[in-house]
Amino acid sequence: MEKNIVKYCSPALAGLKTANMFSYRFESVDKLLAELYAANEKLNEKGVFVEILRISEAKALVYVYRKKMLEADLNRKEVQMLLKDFGYQGSRPEKCLERLKGRLLQYECFPHEIGLFLGYPIQDVSGFIQQKGKNYKCRGPWKVYGNESEAKRLFQKLEKCSRVYNQLFAVGRSITQLTVAA
């Protein structure tokens, strides 16, 4: 679990991004829950939380997020307005995550508002929804409909963070050492 958190969620660990997520294959639910508990034991004190958004037979969608950053993102008026269109009520992270989990169970693919939970710019999330994923300016970890040059700089920064964190983890740095405190 820790190796995957570092591999896919370095920007969230570094505090560069609200959240990241990844698909995780597991042997048993008990082992998965034990790994989740262990990760939270190490990361919660630094303001990072690990949750399962969706689970199937042998695969879990793991969400790694900075609670304070998520709360700030969800409290933005334009974000609340967009989420309201999808049945979200209020801006409390726990309530919004419960609604997101419900929507993930409803649909085979990701509900488009998930980008707001990953720290994507609102212009890019709303642009993706309005344009149905087409007519974007550029793409990286997400499709860009807003500020292309700013997005490209951020994509480079996120990619460098992931590369450096994975190198450091490979030579013995712990996930706790790599996680920036909130």
Answer yes or no: are the C-beta atoms of 6 and 169 closer than 8 Å: yes
For 160-176, the pLDDT digits (tens) are 999 999 999 999 999 99
Closest Cα partner for 83 from 124, 131, 117? Answer: 117
Q: Is residue 70 classed as helix, strand or coil in its secondary structure?
A: helix
Mind listing the pLDDT tens digit of every residue in the chain (182 residues)?
A: 999 999 999 999 999 999 999 999 999 999 999 999 999 999 999 999 999 999 988 999 999 999 999 999 999 999 999 999 999 999 999 999 999 999 999 987 899 999 999 999 999 999 999 999 999 999 999 999 999 999 999 999 999 999 999 999 999 999 999 999 98
Report the alpha-carbon distance of residue 87 to residue 18 in Å, rounded.
Answer: 22
Instruction: Walk across the sheet containing 48-55 and list its strands.
Output: 19-25, 59-66, 48-55
pTM: 0.96
